[in-house]
Chains A and B, each alone.
Chain A
Amino acid sequence: MPNYKLNVNEKSYTVDADQTMPLLWAIRDLVGLKGTKFGCGIAQCGACTLHVDGVPVRSCSYPVSAAAGKKITTIEGISEHVDHAIQKAWVELQVPQCGYCQSGQIMSAVALLKNKPKPTDADIDAAMQGNLCRCGTYQRIRKAIHRASELMA
């Protein structure tokens, strides 16, 4: 199997993986970072969302071969002390319930605020529609994104 050089959260890893292996499993099983979650495998739920060169992607449907050499950021890489504005707002508004989908939610929200520092509800709906939450934390996610926007201003 080929070796791929992955740059994850500004650290370099070499993984021995089948070229069709989704980035999700390379990150979870080979790199060993477990914050990125598996939910559906077909880019429908967003639990596996991470950033490749700053753009949110569904890592369950993104082959490891395509990520080689690019800058990958996972939930573990967005802050040192759970102090990204999004994370602060998540804690302040007590967003997570079971918490399983929240890594993906947070990665989508971080990307949204980077592009739109002051998003409207419609912007939030558009950016967050790809992330399912079975516990139904949606209204807190919406409020927390607005709150994070204030914290960043």
Chain B
Amino acid sequence: MQSSSINRRKFLQLSGLTGTGFLLGLTKSGFAGQAVTAFKNIDAAYAFTPLINIDSSGQITIFNTRPEIGQGTFQSVPSLIAEELEVSLDQVVIKQTGGEKIFGNTQWVGGSSSVRESYTALRKVGASAREMLVKAASENWAVPASECYAEQGKIFHRPTGKSFTYGQLAEKASKYEVPKEPVLKDPKDFKLLGKPTPRPDVPPKSSGEAVFGIDAVLPGMVYASVERSPVFGGKIISYDDTAAKLVKGVTGVYTCNRIIGTKKYEGVAVVAENYWAAVQGRKALKVKWDPGANASFNTKDYEQSLRNAAKKEGLPHKPIGDFDGAFASAPVKLEALYETPFVSHSPIEPMNCLASWHDTDKLDIWVSTQVPGDLKESVAKYYNIAEDNLKLNVTFNGGGFGRRLIHDFVYEAVDLSKKAGKPVKVIWSREDDTKQGPFRPPTFSAMKAGLSPDGKPLAFQHKVISPAIDAIMNPGFDPSKVDQTMVEGISDQKYEIPNIKNAFVYVAADIPMLWWRAVTSTTLAFSHECFIDEMAVKAKKDPLQYRLDMLTKESDSKNVLLKLKEVSGWDKPLPLGWGRGIAHHEFFAGLCGYVVEVSKKDKGVKLEKIFAVIDMGTVVNPDTVKAQVEGAAVMALTAAIKGGITFDKGQTVQSNFNNNPLVRINEIPEVQVHILTNGGPVIKGAGEPGLPTFAPALCNAVFAATGKRVRKLPFDIRNVV
């Protein structure tokens, strides 16, 4: 008992809990649970992930391992526990975890994975706690457990109506064995799941009270603005900080490093009492850079090198049949090259981090991050401190979109706090964010198809020509192998085509690159689904029917297309000068399709109507899913029609929202979102699937309205013909 209570105290320090009656969670190997009395070996193995704490005062805490970046995990994930525990969200405190080992390896958000990876396991955690509380009440009353039920944080005795609060039962319940197979609720009895449950983070986000990384404060903190090489990978030759140090409020000038994957980028930081002084000091700083090998990198030449490389055979990826033979003998042939640009993530909260070294080797960090687990582990390792010495405070993220999957800006703040001997908050300017990346990489796609005389597809090729995110992120990157991220989704489509050749051609670019919301599907679905449209046109078939003809077997893809046909009124004629386009795409994150309608307007087109169908299997919060698709359409429209990122003399040409614009409120009509739920065991993602198919549906609509085929993004929607 003695050792167990010591371990428990240590855990309480780790998690920031102040008292406990009952803790329940998951073990590493999947579902299980343990009560506090069984807390042996907890420090040694971290075998147990506590997710619910009920203390004797009745406070119920649900630990949320999935940071909130706007995708709704602050509601959807705790609701999985709350539903089975029979509590409403306003009865619980939701606490974001900070990468502590004890909270396990789910402390990240990406890949639209949070709900679908947690759905059953977290419900079982809630159900186990409920069963243990019911048992405690029934023993207290000496009545059968079957006469007791849980509701609104209390256990009631049905025949008499008497009740105990969970707080009154917590201590007793914690002594029981955890049920191995707790009985889950029948979905027809759900109060939260499957319902448009309001998100608890919405009121504070409507009052200015929500705390983001940039809002964190510490006594005695200073602010930093960092000058980095305008050419990627440039090295400091020398710097003159005389004038910078004369700026009122400036307290120091120091170098720091920004780390992305295998790359280290140097910076010179001006540190000051307030952020504005740091910015003024930075303007007065003079740094001489050795630009290095990237000095002549430019978009025009790089794009030409991608076009040239399109002629290469490439590395094969999941071939089907004999493409070369079938294409050579096909009576009708089509070929096209599709091109997409680098784009920025541009969350509206710029990168920032508050870091504070204290007591020699202890480090506190406040930051908006998608990956608390990896951040804590990586940063502690880099600075050679024990993970327990790093206290990570994870705030709401002012947008993620993949940008906050890495910690480049965190290393800068941690370096600077060490050098300045104070808490330092680094804030990137919008210019820093736009110019320094990392960016979504471009892909070019060399498409080929061979058709029969009546238009049936006989052979299909999707060859991807691109740089690779992994070349930047992964020290083990091997250019002799297909980069799976860069061919994402092209072999996952359900179209029944007898001969398929997918391939990858790598063309290096030493530019910081990173996963962007929906990753490479955001460019590859454009080429894939626009080229399918070209095939339909060549075959003189309706583009939707042409797709359905290639989907004779039952599939979720087919269901999405049929639903789109229904909700968009696909068979009804459109007004003169209008056109509609369709696209769908299945990939790791899920499945969503669009019908987009446009009308001819002057030399361009106007967006008229947008219909989306997303396939979920099972939905936890339909309103959140709708919001995710509505927003994904906006982000996809920006990527389709706004400028993209270009380079000249090794430098990013764009700098801020004036020349790297985002879609504004007047530029997009309402997105009508329909959710497919068959209630099946496979749950699909919600955050990303709304992105990839918007651009191809739009461009297919542009073709239908104007006869102009868009094969290069971005395109000018006001000047199509």
A129–B587 alpha-carbon span in the complex (Å): 34
Which A residue's beta carbon lies closest to that of B427?
A38
Stretch in B79-87, B274-282, B355-363, B712-720 touching the partner: B274-282
| Chain A proximity of B171: nearest CB distance (Å) | 36
The listed residue (A29, A74, A135) touching B208 by CB distance below 8 A is A74
Residue A119 at the B interface, CB < 8 A? no
Cβ–Cβ contact B658 & A44, under 8 A: yes
Stretch in B31-39, B182-190, B344-352, B436-444 touching the partner: B344-352
In the complex, chain B residues 530-584 whose Cβ is within 8 Å of any chain A Cβ? none
> Given contacts A75-B208, A91-B198, A140-B627, is CB(A42)–CB(B656) below 8 Å?
yes
Stretch in B17-25, B131-139, B384-392, B628-636 touching the partner: B628-636
A47–B205 alpha-carbon span in the complex (Å): 13
Cβ–Cβ contact B657 & A135, under 8 A: no
Cβ–Cβ contact B631 & A39, under 8 A: no
Cβ–Cβ contact B208 & A136, under 8 A: no
Cβ–Cβ contact A129 & B666, under 8 A: yes
Which B residue's beta carbon lies closest to that of A89?
B206
The listed residue (A32, A42, A82, A137) touching B630 by CB distance below 8 A is A137
Cβ–Cβ contact B208 & A34, under 8 A: yes
> Given contacts A132-B657, A134-B346, A136-B632, is CB(A90)–CB(B399) below 8 Å?
no
Residue A131 at the B interface, CB < 8 A? yes
Which A residue's beta carbon lies closest to that of B610?
A139
A32–B203 alpha-carbon span in the complex (Å): 21
The listed residue (B214, B223, B656) touching A40 by CB distance below 8 A is B656
In the complex, chain A residues 24-68 whose Cβ is within 8 Å of any chain B Cβ? 25, 28-30, 32-42, 44-45, 47
Q: Is the interface of A mostly helix, strand, loop or mixed?
A: loop
Across-interface contacts of B211 in A (CB, < 8 A): 34
> Given contacts A35-B208, A102-B205, A142-B665, is CB(A134)–CB(B429) below 8 Å?
no
| Chain B proximity of A3: nearest CB distance (Å) | 14
Across-interface contacts of A106 in B (CB, < 8 A): 206
Residue A141 at the B interface, CB < 8 A? yes
Cβ–Cβ contact A47 & B348, under 8 A: yes
Residue A1 at the B interface, CB < 8 A? yes
| Chain A proximity of B619: nearest CB distance (Å) | 15
Specify which of B205, B657, B671 lies most central, judged by the most chain A CB atoms within 10 Å of its CB. B205
A132–B347 alpha-carbon span in the complex (Å): 10
A4–B270 alpha-carbon span in the complex (Å): 25
- Interface size bracket, A side: 35 or more
| Chain B proximity of A81: nearest CB distance (Å) | 9
Cβ–Cβ contact B70 & A97, under 8 A: yes
Which B residue's beta carbon lies closest to that of A79?
B207
Cβ–Cβ contact B623 & A99, under 8 A: no
A21–B223 alpha-carbon span in the complex (Å): 15
Residue A6 at the B interface, CB < 8 A? no
> Given contacts A98-B399, A136-B631, is CB(A38)–CB(B214) below 8 Å?
yes
Query: CB-CB contacts of B425-449 with A at 8 A, as 1s and 0s?
Result: 0010111000000000000000000
A142–B671 alpha-carbon span in the complex (Å): 12
Query: CB-CB contacts of B662-675 with A at 8 A, as 1s and 0s?
Result: 11111010110000
A44–B215 alpha-carbon span in the complex (Å): 21
A37–B203 alpha-carbon span in the complex (Å): 17
Cβ–Cβ contact A134 & B205, under 8 A: no
> Given contacts A39-B348, A134-B347, A134-B635, is CB(A98)–CB(B627) below 8 Å?
no
Across-interface contacts of A20 in B (CB, < 8 A): 276, 280
Cβ–Cβ contact B201 & A99, under 8 A: yes
| Chain A proximity of B529: nearest CB distance (Å) | 21
Cβ–Cβ contact B280 & A18, under 8 A: yes
| Chain A proximity of B198: nearest CB distance (Å) | 6
Specify which of A35, A41, A99, A139 lies most central, judged by the most chain B CB atoms within 10 Å of its CB. A99
Residue A8 at the B interface, CB < 8 A? no
Residue A113 at the B interface, CB < 8 A? no
Across-interface contacts of A132 in B (CB, < 8 A): 348, 657, 662, 664
> Given contacts A38-B350, A136-B633, A141-B665, is CB(A99)–CB(B71) below 8 Å?
no
Residue B202 at the A interface, CB < 8 A? yes
Across-interface contacts of A150 in B (CB, < 8 A): none
| Chain B proximity of A64: nearest CB distance (Å) | 9
The listed residue (A34, A79, A129) touching B215 by CB distance below 8 A is A34
Cβ–Cβ contact A134 & B401, under 8 A: yes
Cβ–Cβ contact B630 & A140, under 8 A: yes
> Given contacts A37-B214, A100-B349, A141-B665, is CB(A136)–CB(B635) below 8 Å?
yes
Across-interface contacts of A79 in B (CB, < 8 A): 207
Cβ–Cβ contact A25 & B208, under 8 A: no
Query: CB-CB contacts of A108-141 with B at 8 A, as 1s and 0s?
Result: 0000000000000000111011011111111111
Cβ–Cβ contact B202 & A98, under 8 A: no
A94–B632 alpha-carbon span in the complex (Å): 16
Cβ–Cβ contact A87 & B206, under 8 A: yes
In the complex, chain A residues 4-20 whose Cβ is within 8 Å of any chain B Cβ? 17-18, 20
Across-interface contacts of A133 in B (CB, < 8 A): 348, 634, 665
| Chain A proximity of B174: nearest CB distance (Å) | 36
Residue B9 at the A interface, CB < 8 A? no
| Chain B proximity of A56: nearest CB distance (Å) | 15
Residue B338 at the A interface, CB < 8 A? no
The listed residue (A35, A87, A96, A139) touching B670 by CB distance below 8 A is A139
Cβ–Cβ contact B70 & A98, under 8 A: yes
| Chain A proximity of B429: nearest CB distance (Å) | 6
Across-interface contacts of B588 in A (CB, < 8 A): none
A76–B144 alpha-carbon span in the complex (Å): 53
Which A residue's beta carbon lies closest to that of B68?
A98
The listed residue (B70, B249, B350, B665) touching A129 by CB distance below 8 A is B665
Cβ–Cβ contact A87 & B207, under 8 A: yes
Cβ–Cβ contact B275 & A25, under 8 A: yes
Query: CB-CB contacts of B192-235 with A at 8 A, as 1s and 0s?
Result: 00001011011111111111101101000001000000000000
Cβ–Cβ contact B207 & A35, under 8 A: yes
Residue A72 at the B interface, CB < 8 A? no
| Chain B proximity of A13: nearest CB distance (Å) | 15
| Chain A proximity of B419: nearest CB distance (Å) | 21
A41–B658 alpha-carbon span in the complex (Å): 11
A129–B401 alpha-carbon span in the complex (Å): 22
Cβ–Cβ contact A42 & B627, under 8 A: no
Across-interface contacts of B397 in A (CB, < 8 A): 98
> Given contacts A21-B276, A40-B657, A136-B633, is CB(A99)–CB(B665) below 8 Å?
no
Specify which of A18, A21, A44, A98 lies most central, judged by the most chain B CB atoms within 10 Å of its CB. A98
The listed residue (A22, A125, A134) touching B348 by CB distance below 8 A is A134
Cβ–Cβ contact B631 & A135, under 8 A: yes
Across-interface contacts of B198 in A (CB, < 8 A): 91, 94
A74–B208 alpha-carbon span in the complex (Å): 9
Cβ–Cβ contact A99 & B630, under 8 A: no
> Given contacts A25-B275, A98-B349, A99-B201, is CB(A82)–CB(B215) below 8 Å?
no
| Chain A proximity of B398: nearest CB distance (Å) | 3
A44–B69 alpha-carbon span in the complex (Å): 22
Cβ–Cβ contact A96 & B206, under 8 A: yes
Residue B10 at the A interface, CB < 8 A? no
Instruction: Report, nearest first, the 3 A-B pairs whose CB atoms are least far apart.
Output: A35-B208, A136-B634, A99-B205
Beyond A36-B208, A142-B665, 18 additional contacts (C-beta under 8 Å) are A18-B280, A21-B276, A35-B208, A44-B658, A47-B348, A87-B206, A96-B70, A96-B206, A97-B72, A97-B631, A98-B398, A98-B400, A99-B204, A102-B205, A125-B666, A129-B665, A134-B348, A136-B663
Residue pairs across A and B with Cβ atoms less than 8 A apart, 16 shown, are A25-B275, A29-B223, A29-B275, A34-B208, A34-B214, A35-B208, A39-B348, A41-B431, A44-B658, A96-B201, A97-B72, A99-B202, A100-B349, A134-B401, A134-B635, A141-B665
